[in-house]
Amino acid sequence: MRRTLARLQHHSNAFVRIVEVAPRDGLQNEKKIPSTETKTSLIDRLVATGLQTVEVTSFVSPKWVPAMADNEAILKHCNQTHGGTTVDFPVLTPNAKGMQKALELGAKEVAIFAASSDGFAKKNTNCTVDESFERFEEVLKLARNAGHPVKVRGYLSTVIGCPYDGPTEPARVAELAQRLIDLGCYEVSLGDTIGVGTPGTIEMMLDQVMRRVPAEMLAIHAHDTYGQGVANVMKAVDMGVRVVDASVAGLGGCPYAKGATGNVATEDVVYALHGSGYDTGVNLDLLAETGEWISKELGRPNGSRAGRAIWTKNQAKI
């Protein structure tokens, strides 16, 4: 018991930043596309929980991701409604064309999306991994010449396994993570896109990556396909990672990764972190309420166990 309390006290001042990805990654693959009003309401509710980073949309062709066709209206809403706050609203810009449009609308943080495997890169962006990095150079150049400060975050997908190429070598992930940093990304989010990771494979991957990129420049992005999402997040946090991507109500998946169910639920992650002595700055009750609300809006079950339990308990008090 004393050891447990001592461990919690050791983490008591450790802050973990949550990157909420539901408005973009969570909604991009919904069969029934939510209205712009639903999306902006979701963003507003997420900001009200205390989240400091909310990824809101992507500047991609509506032909490929029709759910993001209202990207201009979404980013304008964020800038007009929350422009005076400290909340960051990153947007995904996979190429120079998307980047140019995002910058014209005043984006202050963008994200680029790389794969660890050629099979996934070809399916997702119609090019090899090396060809995708050539595209990123144009995006980073635009960021440097934007006329206002623009942060660029790098996503690195399929870091544990690929649905087309099989298991991913940790050394390959480490090499590509360093390439993203060398390009100018301030942070690399390591994504277990198809959710095949376990705490053991996450540890092996991070052990290699951290030899080339410091923990403070890394984030973990877990999927819960095999029920390992929270365990994988906590393993990464225990190893020194202090940024976690998550999606309220476990929304999302990947349109190019068949069978890859939702992102790890933000409510589950925050519950686990708070219970382990970490601080996130997030109001868990408001977060659970938001997860229940968006699930009902979408007409789908709430994918967060912690969220459902907290919401049910709070309803019993009313």
Given 78, 162, 185, 254, the catalytic residue:
254
- Annotated catalytic residue 254: yes
Query: Token match 């070809």: residue?
Result: 122
In sequence order, which residues have a C-beta less than 8 Å from that of residue 210 and are 6 or more positions away? 218, 239, 240
Q: Please give the DSSP secondary-structure letter assigned to residue 215.
A: G
User: Cα–Cα distance between 215 and 217 in angstroms, integer?
Assistant: 5
Give φ, ψ of 128 to 5 degrees. Answer: -80, 170
Task: Tell me the residue length of the chain.
Answer: 318
Strands, E assignment, the chain: 17-20, 53-54, 57-58, 91-92, 109-115, 151-157, 161-162, 166-167, 187-192, 218-222, 243-246
Dump the DSSP string for 63-118. Answer: TT-GGGTTHHHHHHHHHHHHTTSS-B--EE--SHHHHHHHHHTT-SEEEEEEESSH
Give φ, ψ of 263 to 5 degrees. Answer: -60, 160
Question: Quick one: tokens of 65?
Answer: 């991701």
In sequence order, which residues have a C-beta less than 8 Å from that of residue 65 and are 6 or more positions away? 28, 58, 255
3-state SS of 217-230 is HEEEEEECCCCCHH
Catalytic residue numbers read 254
